[in-house]
Amino acid sequence: MCISYIPTTKAVLVEYFGVDDPGYDWKEEVWQDYQAPILIQRDGRRQALIASYGLVPKRKEQPGSKHYTTMNARAETVGEKPTYRRAWQQGHLCLVPMTGFFEPCYESGKAERWQISMADNGPFAVAGIWRAWPEEQGYTFSFSQLTINADSHPLLRRMHKPGDEKRSLVIVPPEDYGTWLSCRDPELARTILVQRCAEQLVGEPMPILRRGGTGAVHAT
Per-residue pLDDT of the chain (220 residues; tens, 9 = 90+): 689 999 999 999 999 999 999 999 999 999 999 999 999 999 999 999 999 999 999 998 877 777 789 999 999 999 999 999 999 999 999 999 999 999 999 999 999 999 999 999 999 999 999 999 999 999 999 999 999 999 999 999 999 999 999 999 999 999 999 999 999 999 999 999 998 887 899 999 998 754 333 332 223 2
CA 68 to each of CA 17, 61, 93: distance values in angstroms, whole numbers, following the listed order: 32, 9, 21
Q: Assess contact for 209 and 115: CB atoms under 8 A.
A: no
For residue 59, give the 3-state DSSP assignment. Answer: helix
Q: Assess contact for 69 and 41: CB atoms under 8 A.
A: no
What is the chain's Cα-based Rg? 17
Model pTM? 0.92
Which class for 133: exposed (0-12), middle (13-18), buried (19 or more C-beta within 10 A)?
Answer: middle
Sign, CA torsion 55/59/61/66: positive
Please state, as a whole number, how many other Cβ atoms lie within 10 Å of the Cβ of residue 155. Answer: 17
Query: Whats the size of the chain, residue-wise?
Result: 220
User: What distance in Å separates the CA atoms of residue 190 and residue 40, rounded to the nearest whole number?
Assistant: 17
